[in-house]
Amino acid sequence: MDIENVACVGAGLIGQSWATLFASKGCAVNVQDQQEAILTSALTRIRSNLGFLARNGLLDGADPQEVLQGVTVTTSLVEAVKNVEYVQESVFEEYDVKKAVFREMDAVAPKDAIFASSSSGLLITEIQRVTTQPDRCLIAHPFNPPHLIPLVELVPGEQTAPDVVQAVSDFMRRIGKAPVVLRREAPGYIANRLSAALWREAIDLVDQGVASVEDVDKALRMGPALRWALMGVHLTYHLGGGPGGIEHFVDTLGPAFASWWKTMNTWTSIPASAASKVIEGVTNMNVVQTKSREEIVRWRDEKILEILKVVSGSQP
């Protein structure tokens, strides 16, 4: 299946970034939102993103203004999806909201169009039930910002057709993404479940007075995160096991991990005391005090590109 015409439904932070990526790869993109002000902001951000990509040699020499000509904005969902092969939905993270959008898209989009949700944790099995073509619905969850971070998690529902998953996987690879396909649904998928587990412990370390917000972040970025940019946790520990590999690591360090797990908190909602400490700690970070959000975002994006140049396509 050739995907050349795309709709981005929902023009917030994620929708803007998806639109940037699709346009930068030569797709004709319709960006839809109910609010004109959000569309105006989205177009400004897409223009800025394309300029950033051009300055870093990621538009294959194309003029960002010419690329931007392939982006159309509209408040009409009908106009956005009527002639596309693929829809990337990025509306509010709530079942009722997404179901309403999928139901409306189902009534007006081409019958062979694929509907992909950017949801960060909802189950597509629940959402696809409101459509007449549930086999063409799936999750395509990006990591922010989608136009820079390669990961996209593809999550089929109970009624999603395997050939649709394959078509989206092929499309994502074509535009430079790194798709992973879940074998079965799990709330939060892979990356957000891992992030949630890590964040709970990071919050608890602050709440229990073990370390400051800034030092918890520093411990991550100057330690494990450097390895994680090259390899996942399992390969990391395989190397940590020395000549005996992962089996030796499990046998020798498994008991130590077990003793640490016993001391870790298992709350399922952030305690009020912890929330206030984290908010205060982030607010008082030197970088937050001295730099604007836009300056931090620009620095982040530039560093992400530098990291990608090192790790892209690399294998030991």
The domains of the chain, with CATH numbers, are 5-181 (3.40.50.720), 192-284 (1.10.1040.10)
The pLDDT score that the predictor gives to residue 314 is: 62
Please report where in the chains the tokens 């100057």 appear, as a residue: 222
Rounded to 10 degrees, what is the CA torsion of 292, 293, 298, 302?
110
222/217 Cα distance (integer angstroms) = 8
Cβ(83)–Cβ(154) below 8 Å: no
Residue 119 has pLDDT above 70, yes or no: yes
170/189 Cα distance (integer angstroms) = 20
Please give the share of the chain, as a percent, with pLDDT higher than 70. Answer: 99
74/70 Cα distance (integer angstroms) = 13
pLDDT digits (tens, 9 = 90+) for 191-209: 999 999 999 999 999 999 9
30, HSE (Cβ side, Cα atoms, 13 Å): 22
Give me the mean pLDDT over the 296-310 stretch: 95
The pLDDT score that the predictor gives to residue 312 is: 80
The pLDDT score that the predictor gives to residue 164 is: 98
105/87 Cα distance (integer angstroms) = 9
The pLDDT score that the predictor gives to residue 74 is: 98
Question: E strands, the chain, where?
Answer: 5-9, 28-32, 71-74, 86-89, 114-117, 137-142, 151-156, 178-181
Give me the mean pLDDT over the 206-225 stretch: 97
Helix axes 213-221, 191-207, angle to 10 degrees: 140
DSSP code for 153: E
**Which of 273, 281, 290 lies closest to 211 in space, CA to CA?**
281
74/82 Cα distance (integer angstroms) = 12
* 1 confidence band (pLDDT: 50, 70, 90): confident
The alpha carbon of 113 is separated from its chain's Cα centroid by a whole number of angstroms, namely 22
Q: What is the value of pTM for the model shown? A: 0.96
| Span of 74-83, 170-179, 302-311 with lowest mean pLDDT | 302-311
Cβ(118)–Cβ(153) below 8 Å: no
In the predicted model, what is the mean pLDDT of the chain? 97
| Span of 10-24, 84-98, 116-130, 302-316 with lowest mean pLDDT | 302-316
Residue 82 has pLDDT above 70, yes or no: yes
Give me the mean pLDDT over the 285-295 stretch: 97
Give me the mean pLDDT over the 121-140 stretch: 98
The alpha carbon of 17 is separated from its chain's Cα centroid by a whole number of angstroms, namely 10
Pair of tokens at residue 281: 């700690």
1/86 Cα distance (integer angstroms) = 10
The pLDDT score that the predictor gives to residue 315 is: 65
Give me the mean pLDDT over the 145-165 stretch: 98
